Amino acid sequence: MVQVENEYGSFYACDHKYMKWLRDETERYVRGKAVLFTNNGPGLAQCGGVEGALSTLDFGPGTSQDIDGYWKDLRKYQPNGPLVNTEYYPGWLTHWQEQQMARSPIEPVVTSLRYMLSSKVNVNIYMFYGGTNFGFTAGSNEQGPGRFIPDITSYDYDAPLDESGDPTPKYEAIRQVISEFFPMPHRPLPSPTRKMSLPSVVLKPIDSLLNKQFLRKIASPEIQNLTPLTFEALNQYSGLVLYEALLPTNLKSDPMKLTVEKVHDLGYVFVDTNFIGTLSRQNPISSLPITQGIGEKLQIIVENQGRLNFGTPNDFKGLVGNVFIDTQKVLNWTMTGIPLDNVTTISEYIVLKSQLDKVKSLKRARIHQGTPLRHGPMAFYGTFDIARIDILDTYLNPSGWGKGVVFINGFHLGRYWPRVGPQITLYVPRHILKSNMNEIILVEYQTIKAPFMTVGFDKSPTFN
């Protein structure tokens, strides 16, 4: 089977010419060697389907009456052909700042599955195994007060197999239902893989992301423009962008009012490298007071928290639109991209400094553990050995830190944000670890851990 479109019926266009063109373009490569199909939510096949491609549906657990209604509605559009639930949802995704991880009870999942199989419906489970949104691959959704809510790094999804690939009670229940309809292999259920804990690792500060010497090593070249440019205009996929401009000197109000038309998605505001406050898309905050006379240069570090998974908006990142001090537009910006997609540059900077103890002592006066970073996001570094023969999966625990990203041996584990949760730990697959020296680089945006700058490694995941 080859899919022509996905959930096109959910969008307003309902362009049948487009669907026919896409079907024909797909068939040009398939050449009759596979079944073409489309997938839509219940009741949306009329706009999301196309003649010559099998229409399938996606939905989660429901009553037998609900499920029968979905297929009855589909038969109005497609009288014949197999019934297929292309995405049967056994769980759901989770977002940062939600109260707890998304969890779906087992009983409704297996009851609906049993009903569909007894009705000769073909079922594909999404997700059977979710895994992890490593690096910057976690997305976001258009909901909440700011019409934006970012996904957590874990894509556990409450799926039959958990984030590490281990079977869950839901897996066993689904397996039992399937065995009622199909022959099963005569082999025991797989056992959960062993996990390991490790001693805490002490991290040393490297430098602030507002330090120009550090930026020259890890960032893209500066770009000047009259108005702020988005990540896309800067040809940057994710990470951070530093926006800098001079504050106007002709204003008399005190405090002055900083207003940003749109910040996508989180903006850390500084004046002459001194922290002022945070702008947020998720919790709509678009303005901050700035005291007269505290400095000359306005600096805003904008974080891309993840692109929208679903919907029609062009999700541009960065400072989208104009920036004002009171009613005066701020012009003549310098932008520096900090993509954080090549941690090798940070490692090379550590080697260049070569005197970490000196760096640590220089920074100690500027770092107050447990309080916000007052002089910009900061990179930290640590190493550890694994004193065991069998290296196992583990979970990095950044409890006590604020928000940021972490790398182990150059591999980007993803975003952490234990202050809000519900995800606390980050899954660490054993394949990225080694018995001799392992390197951790952590880029912290907000807060230093107190009383010690450490991260832990646990045998099991922690969620709020």
Range of the domain at 410: 198-206+342-458
In a domain, 214, yes or no: no
Token pair belonging to 166: 């281990």
323-325 and 256-260: which strand pairing?
Answer: antiparallel
Supply angle C-alpha 268, 282, 156, rounded to 5: 105
Q: Are residues 334 and 354 in the same domain?
A: no
Minimal CA–CA distance to 438: which of 392, 380, 386?
386
Q: Are residues 30 and 134 in the same domain?
A: yes
Q: Are residues 269 and 368 in the same domain?
A: no
Q: Are residues 62 and 103 in the same domain?
A: yes
**What's the CA gap between 453 and 179, in Å, rounded?**
51
CB 180 within 8 A of CB 114: yes
In a domain, 310, yes or no: yes
Q: Catalytic residue at 296?
A: no
In a domain, 211, yes or no: no
Q: Are residues 383 and 409 in the same domain?
A: yes
In a domain, 213, yes or no: no
**What's the CA gap between 310 and 151, in Å, rounded?**
12
Q: What is the CATH number of the domain that holds 304?
A: 2.60.120.260
Token pair belonging to 389: 């023969």
In a domain, 292, yes or no: yes
Q: Are residues 96 and 62 in the same domain?
A: yes
Last residue of a domain, one of 289, 318, 338: 338
- The pLDDT assigned to 354 comes to 59
Q: Are residues 30 and 72 in the same domain?
A: yes
In a domain, 184, yes or no: no
Q: Indicate the pTM of the whole model.
A: 0.92
In a domain, 84, yes or no: yes
Q: Are residues 330 and 406 in the same domain?
A: no
Q: Are residues 272 and 411 in the same domain?
A: no
Task: Give the helix, strand, coil percentages of the chain, each rounded to 5.
Answer: 20, 30, 50
Q: Which of 5, 87, 303, 444 is catalytic?
A: 87
**What's the CA gap between 418 and 395, in Å, rounded?**
13
Handedness of CA 105, 108, 109, 110 (dihedral sign): positive
Q: Which of 7, 142, 232, 439 is catalytic?
A: 7
Q: Catalytic residue at 87?
A: yes
String of DSSP letters for 258-295: EEES-EESEEEEEETTEEEEEEETTTTB-EEEE-TTS-
**DSSP H or E run through 23:** helix 16-30
Q: What is the CATH number of the domain that holds 398?
A: 2.60.120
- The pLDDT assigned to 228 comes to 98
Last residue of a domain, one of 338, 362, 382: 338
Q: Are residues 154 and 82 in the same domain?
A: yes
pLDDT along the chain (464 residues), means of 10: 96 95 98 97 96 98 98 96 98 97 97 99 98 98 96 98 97 97 90 96 94 94 98 97 96 94 97 96 97 93 96 91 97 98 89 60 47 84 91 97 97 97 98 95 91 92 93
Task: Please state the domain count of the chain.
Answer: 3
In a domain, 163, yes or no: yes
Q: To which residue do tokens 């959960």 refer?
A: 192
Which residue type does 27 have?
Answer: E
Last residue of a domain, one of 338, 368, 398: 338
Q: Are residues 269 and 318 in the same domain?
A: yes
Q: Are residues 368 and 326 in the same domain?
A: no
